Amino acid sequence: MSREVHVQFWERVGVRFPRATHLPLYRQEKMSVRWGASISRKSMARWVEVVAEWLKPIYNRMREQLLQGDYLQADETPVRYHDPDIKKGKTEQGWLWAMSRPGGDVIFQWRLSRRHGEGVKLLGDYKGVLQSDGYEAYRAYAASRPDVTWVGCWAHARRRFREALQESPVAAGFILQLIGNLYHMERTWDEKALTGARVRAARRQSDFPMTLGLLKKTLLVLRRRALPRSGLGKACQYMLNHWEQLVRHCQHGQTRLDTNLMENAIRPTAIGKKNWMFIGHPQAGERSAIIYSIVGSCQRHNIDPLLYLRDVLTRLPTMSNQDDLASLCPGQWQTPRS
């Protein structure tokens, strides 16, 4: 069955990639009894370890390809972990740092903290446009590298005005209309296939200034009138604090106005956290990051993870260190004809 037919079948019955269900191993151990062949949790944990090790070269190649581009989106999400060697019965806070670009693969990296230095480990010597929310780690990374331009996320700025709608419906609503005008122009250009970076940058430079000028004047007026601790006051202050990063989109036509695609790639981890609660050991975090990267990238490219893994894990043992793994990355993988 081809990839397209397989995907269409599951979508027709209302299920999207049913195998990527984030089930913890202890639950799969119980389910295996009903399948007619009891499989121990220890055996499955060993399989996960081996598969992650086999996939690591592909994972590293995916990261290299992302860093070679000129545009990246980055984000991070908390994940609890349990280190039995330190505190019995208690969990600690770890982090999955993630990076991607629209249409590209997704890379997760496991870290035990959210310190600024972890952003450096994620991004390395990247050169290009970096987009993120307002977290200072990304600001610091870009500030220390002249070849990196940091741009902001309009969705994060917009979200605060959505939250302020109930207390200030007129003022917050007007700001949302102005931001919506920017998105309307972007959708119009998409419909006209004006997707080239130079063309999009030129359109932004010619069509955005009027809306952006009115938006900033309104923000300054509302900030003076609103209470600093009110929802509207905080929303205005946040957008003005990040104004320089937000308007930089006018200079870079390859960017998206927001990091929603990145957040969508991270969102499945929230389902996992509800099911398996925490990572069993900090060393298992890297294995989880590798497998999340592979499965998340497959889903972004509408690839059934099982079809992909079945093919790749069959081919990897026959390959040498000299073989180029680019064709095995989800973004470039082709469904075998057989």
Residue-level pLDDT at 117: 87
pTM of the predicted protein model: 0.85
Which residues lie below 8 Å from residue 318, measured CB to CB, with a gap of 6+?
A: none
177, amino acid identity: Q
Tokens matching residue 300 = 């972004």
For position 14, what pLDDT does the model report? 38
Q: How confident is the model at residue 252, as a pLDDT?
A: 95
Q: Do 59 and 66 form a contact (C-beta atoms < 8 A)?
A: no
Residue 6 confidence (pLDDT): 43
Question: Which regions in the chain score pLDDT beneath 50?
Answer: 1-18
Distance of CA 247 to the CA centre of its chain: 22
- Hey, CA dihedral for 122, 56, 337, 2, is it positive or negative? negative
What per-residue confidence (pLDDT) applies to 34? 82
